[in-house]
Structure 1
């Protein structure tokens, strides 16, 4: 986005949302950071004793009233989200970026990981905004989760639906086994047929040594464990009785991803 191009004024409701994100008392910028970036962007800061979000909102409104554009505000946000500020704080960076992009999506903008803007179709609903930035999905991406995980439960990841995402993720393992072997069984029966040591339909190694056979059986037991711990209970237990939080979901999906990476080696 060219610096000389005047950007439209950001209306009050969206400006408040942006300030709430970047001035959040826990996850937002510090007061010192706000002071420095406002000065760098040559924006007036005459409420230094106010809350962080109020300081920002006041400075942004003064700027827009004076300049009749939002260029300085966008410059501030770009400076605030410059990746160099977040060395060893990757998760905080991703959190702020996601939350900020939810707000920016309503004015048709998105901030990249390189702190550059691009124009996007403006979000009209909260669901539209949430689809642009899911914390859950971004945390999985940071863990280098296998693409097959996203293939089977992308909608649930975007909606940050932990219960159904892990259910669909584990179901995806069973489906991939069927796709790779043509076996149409299910559950433990599917695993036993495919990973039989006597006549395996899928091998992740040559099965020539005790160590290789142990790895082969270990993977089959891991898949059975996922079925037993996740798929079967989630299929038969109401969501309100089988609570899965984000930390648990991330761990489960990491195991699912590990299984898919092992299956990549299967012949």
Structure 2
């Protein structure tokens, strides 16, 4: 058995933010159950803060660091990422940044923790201020994937535009609607559309569904369409505006992640 020292609170916080970005609230409860801790149930609060307090509590128990190791290995388990290997590889790289401070690493092929005394820490002390500013937002994984490199090169216009294009494609694929832009968002997310944010039973449910739809339409009209038709010099974008736009896009991406596909027309044809 590997000898483990206790993880610092900073390490637990960084790990909690990775977990919060990976799972919805309901999925987080299931994640802790599968890791061997069924008593940990998401309380409806901010996901990463809930994960952080849960990790603190697990480390305070007997064999605390080994409880954290179980969480890490379940987070990196290959069977949690069928059809999503690229996401898993990027996530493991983030986890290994944390573990490098303890001469540990997660093996990509197995998802298991092993000792590696030759590795050196590469956490935020080696990051530029622009990288820290971006990473502190805890964006959706796809925002980091499509926008981070461009953002840290100060290419804010291109970072936002690439993320908007990727979001458009994601909604198109999940809704199975061959359209784009505001027409896609309207068709996919209207009350009769196939992507359901909630059960649409109450007036509140319907308002939320339409609100998310209108936010997606607004984002498309204000950002994606503008970016596609205007030269960069005619549409300047500073860092703060880019950060705020990406935050909105990250929020909407998580909403679409949790949406259920339901096509009433197909059911009626049966």
Give the TM-score taking structure 2 as reference length: 0.49
**TM-score (ref. length: structure 1):** 0.49
